[in-house]
Amino acid sequence: MLVTLLVIAFVIIVLFQPARFELSRNAEISAPMSAGTGAIYRWSGKPRVREGRMIITESVPGELIRLQPEFFEPAAATNIAELINMDKMIGEQSKRV
C-alpha cells in the first residue's frame, strides 16, 4: 500500500513539472584585463580535466570576447565560444524600437 502511494505521489509530481528547462550561468570578474587578443590560457590536471588551452581570438572591451578552447586529452576537440555583454545588446535593441 505504501509503495502504491509513493508511486502515485511521484507520478503527480512529475505531471506538474515543466516540459522544458533552461540552464544559465553568470560570472563577474572585477579585474583589469591584462591580456587581449592572442592571449593563451593552458591547463593540465586531474583525470576529469586533463589537458587543453584557450586562445582569445577577438576582444572588444565591454562588448565581446571570442575564445577558441582546444582540448587535447581525454579526447581531442576544438570549439568557438563567445562571451557577449547582453546588457549592452539589450540596450541597443531597445533604442531601435
* In the chain, where the domains are located: 37-97
Query: Within the chain, what is the greatest distance between any pair of CA atoms?
Result: 65
pLDDT tens for 2-41 read 899 999 999 998 888 877 777 766 666 665 555 688 888 8
pTM of full prediction above 0.85: no
Backbone angles phi, psi at 65, to 5 degrees: -130, 120
**Cα–Cα distance, 73 to 77 (Å, whole number):** 9
